[in-house]
Structure 1
Amino acid sequence: MSDTPAPNGAESVLVIGSAGYLGRYVARSFAEAGYRVTGLQRPGGRPVDPRYQAVPGDLADPASLRAAAEGFDLVVHAGRIEGEVEREGVEAILASGTRLIHTSGADVLGPGDTFEDTVPKPPSCVAWRAPVEQVVRAGGGILIRPGLIYGDNGGVVPDQLLPVAAKLGAGLYFERRGVRWPAVHVADLAELYPLVARKAAPGTAWNGVTETIAVDELAAVTGAGTSVCWQSIDNPPAEIADIVELYVMDHDVSSEKTRREMGWRPRYLDAIGYLREECAAALPLLGR
């Protein structure tokens, strides 16, 4: 539970993606911190939780996002949208004059040891993130960059990695052992958002990462102890084709500044152990 009270106890926040994986945790964190939460209701999308108000809007229709954002104290973009449409949506929200916290990704920083102030050098599969970040920061918005989000049977692991492991009979990594990925539990990540809303200056970026894990160790977890090395990222399984470039991008993302300046205190610090139990329960349902 967040210990960050909303200023004046009742600021209003519009959460984009409030019915989604990360967004429902973010909405709950703001509600527990005393904010009045509203969710964006997409046409044909999952209904906004009845505990919150709802306003209509479409991620593919920037004009609707601007109209939806007007009148709120804060907009938090915790939904999933990529490429040029995301940039246009961000521009529309900023044009409403409402403060924006936008969810990017730690992968935008590129390989190696990176920090909150590292100049992004993204791989081609997420190259669109860098110009979106520029728009957010130039417009006075704030960025949160999560690592691999896990927990509550959601995220990339059950959506993409487990189906591959079930099909191959083993977890998969590429080219070599020891490739590092940043990771964060969804509940810990969600608690960062109200802290940033209260403390962060406009135009800043914060890394939502709690630890670094090895891709080959994660592969063994998804494969119930069995993993296989794919020698090249050429012709990967279709389930992970869109992120295969990340399998060989070794990156260690620091969140030391974020923890210190935002007062963020994550509780889930053993991603491999957590995912081992979660995957063990999920694999039989996939035929393993």
Structure 2
Amino acid sequence: MRVLIIGASGYLGTAISERLAERGHEIVELTRPTSAGSGRGNERRVGDMTDPASLTAAVTPDIDAVINLAGPTGDAAADAAAITALTEPLRGTGRAFVYTSGVWVLGATGAGTADERTPVNPLPIVGYRPDIERQVLAAAADGVRATVIRPGIVHGRGGGIPALLVSLAAKHGAPRFVGDESVRWPMVHVDDLADLFALVVEKADPGTLWHGVTETAVPVTDLAAAAGRAVGLTAAPESWPLEQAGAELGRLFADALALDQSVAGQAARDTLGWTPERPGAVADIQDGSYR
């Protein structure tokens, strides 16, 4: 398959591009006019998420699948227009379109564990993303093999939000987490997540939604302690008051870091044969790629 990836040079895009190439697929990168792309020798096409015509032009008949890893622009109308532009050339063809969302659309999950059937209750930072999810999945009725993946908090390769925990520990001389010590994060290794994207691109049914989660609910205190040990600190993790964290990180992002969630990712294992095998988040942060 020839797979057009929006965001191929990013943290997640790099892992997905590598995995798809290993499985024999050809990567085509969609980059902004000012970007040099990943530098991995892939074909490069130019487009902008705020320029619908450039997006439609990039999805030529030789493209078998599109993976959208671009984050929200903050403009709901612009993001909806981008989805329309990317999926229009795919209508009636059965070609694949994969949209990347995230578990923050679920909001706080309470005492239970959320799965793909759980109603959404998005945080303000991702407030209109469920509307985009619905728009994507509706394209399945028009002959697009449209799917949505909601990753958990991604770790691995020294990147993602866990890198912030490591940076905070080093900066403040003690492990830190935002908000309450009862907070839990659903986690996934970036390379396991790349495996899931490959499976979804290759064989997921149209109109399906998948949670990319390997660890349902990891205590944030455990993650912060691991981040401290990664930089040689053995002190107990300390809570960073939400108001202070918001002043430094932005209040919407700080609220997301303080979100308590338990999210299951079993459906992809049962249906697609996803078999995550990389280290868990605590081990990876403490002894792996973040040291």
TM interval, short-chain normalised: 0.7 to 0.9
Q: Between 53-62 and 239-248, report the one with greater CA deviation.
A: 239-248
AA paired with 1:146?
P
Q: Determine if the alignment matches structure 1 residue 77 to structure 2 residue 68.
A: yes
- 1:1-288 to structure 2, matched below 5 A, reads 11-71=1-61, 72-83=63-74, 84=76, 85-97=78-90, 99-112=96-109, 113-140=113-140, 141-158=146-163, 160-211=164-215, 212-223=217-228, 224-226=233-235, 227-230=237-240, 232-236=241-245, 237-239=247-249, 241-278=251-288, 281=291
Shift of 1:191: 0.8
Q: Between 68-77 and 220-229, report the one with greater CA deviation.
A: 220-229
Shift of 1:25: 1.2
Counterpart Cα distance in 2 of 1:238 and 1:153: 22
Secondary structure of the 1:139 match is: helix
Q: Gaps spanning 5+ residues in structure 2: where?
A: 141-145
Counterpart Cα distance in 1 of 2:174 and 2:270: 39
Q: Gaps spanning 5+ residues in structure 1: where?
A: 1-10, 282-288
Counterpart Cα distance in 2 of 1:54 and 1:46: 9
Secondary structure of the 2:49 match is: coil
Shift of 1:115: 0.2
Cα separation, partners in 2 of 1:259 and 1:252, compared to 1, 3 Å:
same
Counterpart Cα distance in 2 of 1:206 and 1:170: 36
Q: For each residue in 1:190-211, what CA deviation from the matched residue of structure 2 results, as whole angstroms up to 9, or x when unmatched?
A: 0111211222111110011100
Shift of 1:269: 4.1
AA paired with 2:107?
G
Identity %: 33
- Does the 8 A contact of 2:177 with 2:239 survive in 1? yes
Secondary structure of the 1:44 match is: coil
Counterpart Cα distance in 2 of 1:161 and 1:209: 20
What corresponds to 1:284 in structure 2? none
Counterpart Cα distance in 2 of 1:54 and 1:168: 41
Cα separation, partners in 2 of 1:210 and 1:240, compared to 1, 3 Å:
farther
Cα separation, partners in 2 of 1:208 and 1:266, compared to 1, 3 Å:
same
Instruction: Report the TM-score, using the length of structure 1 for normalisation.
Output: 0.86
AA paired with 1:124?
P
- Equivalences, count: 269
How big is the alpha-carbon RMSD for the aligned residues of Structure 1 and Structure 2?
2.0
AA paired with 1:181?
W
Counterpart Cα distance in 2 of 1:196 and 1:204: 9
AA paired with 2:121?
K
Counterpart Cα distance in 2 of 1:125 and 1:219: 23
Secondary structure of the 1:177 match is: coil
AA paired with 2:165?
L
Secondary structure of the 1:253 match is: coil
- Does the 8 A contact of 2:157 with 2:289 survive in 1? no
What corresponds to 1:286 in structure 2? none
- Does the 8 A contact of 1:48 with 1:54 survive in 2? no
Cα separation, partners in 2 of 1:48 and 1:261, compared to 1, 3 Å:
same
